[in-house]
Amino acid sequence: MEILGYILATLIGLSLGVMGGGGSILTVPILVYVLKFDPKQAIALSLAIVGATSLIGSFGHYKKGNINLKVAYLFGPFAMIGTFLGAKISAYISGSAQLIFFALIMIVASYFMFKGRSEDDDIEEVKKLNISLIIAEGIIVGIVTGIVGVGGGFLIVPALVLLAGIKMKEAVGTSLLIISLKSFSGFYGYLNQVEVPWQFLGIFVVFTAIGILIGNKLVDHISNRKLKKGFAIFLVIMGFFILYKNRSQLNFSHNLIYSKNQLSSIVTSK
């Protein structure tokens, strides 16, 4: 199963390289359902994997001039703060709740990918930055990242295009840099909550790095529209699959949020 997991890791990197997001949406299900990690551990590892892989991928985009550092420096710090807060909040949410929330995020993301933008819709001129909206988006996406381990590229890329007015390929490259920053912040927030298998993590990152390097080469030659439609179908299937696997936990009042006694135990142990 580990060999299959490593092969799938390449697809995670490929997704990040081509679309600037989607990596963690693949990573968490692979870690949970293929490699049998605990949900919380999988979410923490996902942040480290996607963070490292996105950082590697961002170098290729930087060489191509596809990273807007001004936007990254504005969006990134607030996203990091939000991710760290989300990771801390997750200590009081059950693993089943995190997976169910994750599945719902996947289904919502699929809608935006189906809706999508035309490849010819790139904005030609950079408009004035809507700073307040970019900051708000950074914090919100960061909190979601910390809670469910989603890098948020599928939210960051549209935000950069609409709020910062930058072209699609530039949004993809900038998204990778932002994802790496906030993913590392979220992983740091999980370090005292889960045990980290460092050797496995290192090998997995190597395979995702191979995928993202391939993705960087393909990004100029592949149809983003067709790729997004196919990926959206995958999101719908996986989202409902995760909901089905956790159907017994859909009693929100009892199973999803920790009970008062469980919370007391968590707080006492810290």
Instruction: Count Cα neighbours of 1 within 13 Å in the Cβ-side half-sphere.
Output: 8
Residues with Cβ < 8 Å from 51, sequence gap 6 or more?
Answer: 151, 179, 180, 181, 182, 183, 184, 186, 187
How much is the pLDDT for 147? 85
47, 98 contact by CB (below 8 A): no
| CA–CA dist 248, 250 (Å, integer) | 6
Q: What is the DSSP letter of 116?
A: -
Q: Which residue has the higher pLDDT, 18 or 10?
A: 10
Other CB atoms within 10 Å distance of the CB of residue 266: 13
Residue 124 confidence (pLDDT) above 70: no
Q: Output the CA–CA distances (angstroms, integers) from residue 160 to 63, 107, 213, 222, 231, in the order listed.
A: 20, 21, 23, 21, 20
| CA–CA dist 147, 87 (Å, integer) | 5
Tokens 């991710």 belong to residue: 83
The token pair at 211 is 């995928």
Tell me the per-residue pLDDT of 52-70, one tens digit each, with 9 for 90 and over: 988 888 888 888 888 989 8
| CA–CA dist 270, 170 (Å, integer) | 42
How much is the pLDDT for 205? 92
| CA–CA dist 45, 28 (Å, integer) | 8
Average pLDDT over residues 27-43: 89
Three-class SS state of 93: strand
pLDDT band with cut points at 50, 70 and 90 for residue 219: low
C-alpha 104 chain-centroid distance? 14
Residue 113 confidence (pLDDT) above 60: yes
Tell me the per-residue pLDDT of 64-87, one tens digit each, with 9 for 90 and over: 888 989 888 888 899 889 988 988
How much is the pLDDT for 26? 80
Domain interval for residue 95? 2-269
H helices of the chain, in order, are 2-19, 23-29, 39-63, 69-89, 95-115, 131-148, 153-163, 168-190, 198-218, 224-245, 260-269
Q: Output the CA–CA distances (angstroms, integers) from residue 115 to 18, 228, 245, in the order listed.
A: 18, 10, 27
The structural domain count of the chain equals 1
Amino acid identity, residue 101? F
The token pair at 215 is 């993705």
